[in-house]
Amino acid sequence: MSGFGLTLMATDGAARRGRVETAHGAIDTPAFMSVGTAATVKAMTWDAVRSTGAQIVLGNTYHLMLRPGAERVASLGGLHRFTGWDGPILTDSGGYQVMSLAERCTIDESGVTFASHIDGSRHHLTPERAVDIQRQLDADVTMVLDECTPFPATHDAARLSMERSMRWAARCREAFVARAGYGLFGIVQGGVYPDLRAASVAALTGIGFDGYAVGGLAVGEGQQTMLEVLDATVPLLPAERPRYLMGVGRPEDIVAAVRRGVDMFDCVLPTRSGRTAQAFTRRGTLGLRNRRHLHDERPVDDSCACPVCRQHSRAYIHHLFRAGEMLGPMLLTWHNLHFYQAVMATLREAIGAGRFEAVATALERDLALGDIEATVDPLAGRNGADG
């Protein structure tokens, strides 16, 4: 073990306020990790990422191993130096994206064989190779290679898949080179079956990891099933290690998972939605391409302190998306990431103050409210174009 662990600063019910120290700085938890797939958080400068309050970002091993290549990143000094982001970085193992994005993908006990979606080149990703690539990338948090159990899966299929993932997890632990401030996280699998999740937790804690992720969720099972799996899994995890719910989610999913003791999250929703004109607000989501925003001088979210909401109207952002201007995705990604980080800060503060349930309930209630009706368009019925 590397000594990489969670300092618990407060608990409130099952919710935890903590801090994780890494080689590149601390992460206050509960934490949301912005997704920086190909060595960039899409449409964001790194200064902008920092300004949202982000303390840790996620890189995708699959994308980076193909382009520019892990050896390339290593020879350029690792991801921190390559990107200019000097804070903590977590990388996934590549497994999930190999199985969802790559071509001609085959899995056997040794690992995964696949063809690059970029140039068709053949690659073999083993547990040992996944760990080594993440070392080359200089990831503060390395994730074990696991098999993505399809959803839905029978109990037998989920068991066989989980058991293989556990054997791979042991190989990853063997391959991981301990370094101060660097950690390796195991991933709990087992589909929607509580007994398999419990067996997976037992296998992983038997091996011993620096943190524990819950994988195989947010794959179409719905929020209720996801929360049932968390209820069956999170209490079994060691309290002194960070808990990471992979690929989740909407703000309301995050609130519900923090309530159950989860510490770390990642999701493409704020960034991907930012590029498709969907905004997250305190009162739920907004589609800014909708013509009802044509003359709306309000900010995206009037309770938001981000630079976008301080400076720009919905009408302007609507125009940018209609005109196909890059500034639309840039501004909305920035706002969305700021919104997510603000939610996390609110949750952390609430746990520290012993007010988690009241604050979480208010957040959930507001998220379900929906937007306030737009202002009336003074040019309604007239042609939007002049001449």
Residues noted as catalytic? 92, 266
Phi/psi for 231 (5° steps) reads -60, -35
Among 116, 205, 290, 346, binds its own copies (CB under 8 A): 116
Among 108, 373, 378, 381, binds its own copies (CB under 8 A): 378
Query: What residues form DSSP beta bridges with 111?
Result: 108
Q: Does 291 bind its own copies (CB under 8 A)?
A: no
Q: How many Å apart are CA 67 and CA 48, to the nearest integer?
A: 24
Among 45, 276, 303, 361, binds its own copies (CB under 8 A): 45
Q: Does 320 bind its own copies (CB under 8 A)?
A: yes
Closest CB to its own copies among 22 and 134?
134
Q: Does 382 bind its own copies (CB under 8 A)?
A: yes
Name the DSSP class of 221.
S
Q: How many Å apart are CA 75 and CA 202, to the nearest integer?
A: 38
Amino acid at 365: R
Residues 331-370 that bind its own copies (CB under 8 A): 331
Tokens at residue 225, please?
A: 């099933």
Query: What residues form DSSP beta bridges with 31?
Result: 264
Q: Does 135 bind its own copies (CB under 8 A)?
A: no
b or e along 115-150 (b: 16 or more beta carbons within 10 Å of the residue's beta carbon)?
Answer: ebeeeeeebebbbbbbbbbbbbbbbbbbbbbbbbbe
Nearest to 37 by CA among 218, 253, 275, 243: 275
Closest CB to its own copies among 269 and 347?
269
Q: How far is the CB of 94 from its own copies (least distance, A)?
A: 10
Q: How far is the CB of 384 from its own copies (least distance, A)?
A: 5
- Residues in contact with its own copies by CB under 8 A are 38-40, 42-47, 63, 65-72, 75-77, 82-84, 116, 119, 121-125, 129, 133, 136, 294-295, 297, 307, 311-313, 315-316, 319-320, 322-323, 325-327, 329-331, 378-379, 382-387
